[in-house]
């Protein structure tokens, strides 16, 4: 389904379940006696406007969480050759990554199965370490494309879905099959995070499997530098 079709469906869904839109339809149809179809069309149009206003408000609130860049950090970006537009893009990209990593950390601790996968792969620590490496080397952002735009976001989505299914009160054999398949996919995606880390650190794809295993063990779990990214300035 393309983005346009999805947007239309989202708008129509909102229009038909929004209390404001329903009340508008009843007002037009029964008070102003505009007829069923005209009332429906006008109500959907108003619902569409409300939908986009709501989304814009959410977007502005989300962007508001990213604090204004400090003079020191701005000078750091300039020293790395970033112009204003590149700096803003970098900060927004890394802010999204930060939120995804923090969500991933919570998800991995939420279910014992996911916790076991995380411990085996050291995923959260590798992700935090790679995050710090990228923030210290902003000109290398494009080298982390797979991590930032594919592997990290996919892993968050997969763990969200796993938790959602795992919380079902009644589980059938099919449910457990889906959970097992999802866990296997999550495990594979965690391995790819480790590959991303090694590739960014070394740039050497020889003996990648060995380097990945070493990377998983190299990051100490009690190292505070890799534990905290919440206060990392962007």
* pLDDT tens track for 139-174: 999 999 999 998 999 899 999 999 988 888 777 888
Q: Identify which of 128, 156, 101, 130 has the alpha carbon closest to the alpha carbon of residue 221.
A: 128
Q: What is the pTM of this model?
A: 0.62
Taken as a whole, the chain contains a residue count of 234
For the chain, what is the radius of gyration of the CA atoms?
23
Task: Report which of residues 119 and 39 the model is more confident about.
Answer: 119
Q: What percent of the chain has pLDDT over 70?
A: 69
pLDDT > 90? residue 123? yes
**Candidate from 33-37, 49-53, 150-154, 193-197 with smallest mean pLDDT:** 49-53
Residues 6+ apart with CB under 8 A from 94: 131, 134, 135, 234
148-154 CB contacts, 8 Å cutoff, 24+ apart = 148/93, 148/97, 151/189, 151/192, 151/193, 151/196, 152/97, 152/100, 152/101, 152/104, 152/127, 152/193, 153/100, 154/189
Cα–Cα distances (Å) from 159 to 111, 156, 165, 222, in that order, read 10, 5, 10, 24
DSSP state of 81: T
Q: What is the pLDDT of residues 62-106, one digit of tens each?
A: 444 778 888 999 999 999 999 999 999 999 999 999 999 999 999
């Amino acid at each position: 389904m393309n983005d346009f079709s999805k947007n239309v469906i989202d708008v129509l869904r909102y229009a038909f379940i929004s209390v404001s839109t329903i009340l508008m339809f009843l007002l037009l149809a029964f008070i102003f006696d505009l007829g069923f179809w005209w009332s429906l069309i006008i109500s959907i149009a108003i619902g569409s406007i409300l939908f986009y206003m709501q989304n814009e408000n959410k977007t502005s609130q989300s962007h508001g969480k990213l604090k204004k860049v400090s003079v020191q950090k701005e000078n750091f970006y300039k020293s790395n050759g970033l112009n204003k537009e590149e700096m803003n893009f970098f900060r927004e990209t890394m802010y999204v990554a930060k939120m995804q990593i923090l969500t991933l950390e919570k998800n991995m601790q939420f279910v014992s199965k996911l916790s076991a996968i995380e411990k085996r792969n050291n995923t959260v620590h590798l992700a935090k370490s790679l995050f710090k490496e990228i923030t210290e080397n902003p000109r290398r952002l494009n080298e982390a494309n797979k991590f930032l735009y594919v592997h990290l976001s996919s892993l968050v989505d997969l763990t969200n879905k796993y938790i959602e299914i795992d919380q079902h009160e009644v589980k059938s054999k099919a449910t457990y099959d889906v959970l097992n398949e999802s866990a296997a996919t999550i495990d594979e995606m965690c391995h790819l995070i480790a590959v991303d880390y090694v590739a960014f650190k070394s740039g050497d794809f020889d003996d990648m499997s060995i380097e990945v295993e070493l990377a998983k063990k190299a990051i100490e779990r009690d190292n505070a530098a890799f534990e905290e990214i919440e206060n990392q300035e962007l």
